[in-house]
Amino acid sequence: MFRRAPWAALLVAVLWMNPARAGGNEVSGSVAYWTESSAAFSATLGKFRFPIATFYIEGQAGAWLFFSRDPIVRFHATGGGGVDLGVVRLGVEAGYLHNGGLFGARVSFSF
């Protein structure tokens, strides 16, 4: 396991120094702490980001669907930022989801 760590570090360094041109679409997943119920996971398909050199900032708003609680549809709004490594983006986000705060990490893949 420890023999693979240098290869992973080398891959991250190469992507950081020479990011590939990525498309404007992305598939992302995030894990967050939600103050109303302690945890949340989301998967999204999007096309909204602002690149700033190697970094990016983003904002999102919309509806989340919950199939195990009332109300089923809940409003959310988040903002965040992170590092754009070309095809992969790593970031953090914070925002509002229904009656609580949302704080988490996100990984996105561009196409």
Per-residue pLDDT of 40-52, as tens digits, reads 777 777 765 777 8
The token pair that represents 76 in the structure block? 């959310």
Domains: count for the chain: 1
pLDDT of res. 1: 46
Are the beta carbons of 95 and 75 closer than 8 angstroms?
A: no
Domain that holds residue 17: 5-110
pTM higher than 0.75 for the full model? no
> Cα dist. 89→34, 36, 67, 99 in Å?
22, 27, 29, 28
Question: Contact 93/78 with Cβ under 8 angstroms?
Answer: yes
Averaged pLDDT of the chain? 78
- CA–CA gap between residue 45 and residue 68 (Å, rounded): 22
Which parts of the chain have pLDDT scores under 70?
1-23, 47-48
Q: What is the dihedral of CA 60, 43, 102, 58, to 10 degrees?
A: -30
Residue 94's pLDDT is: 94
- Amino acid 47: pLDDT: 67
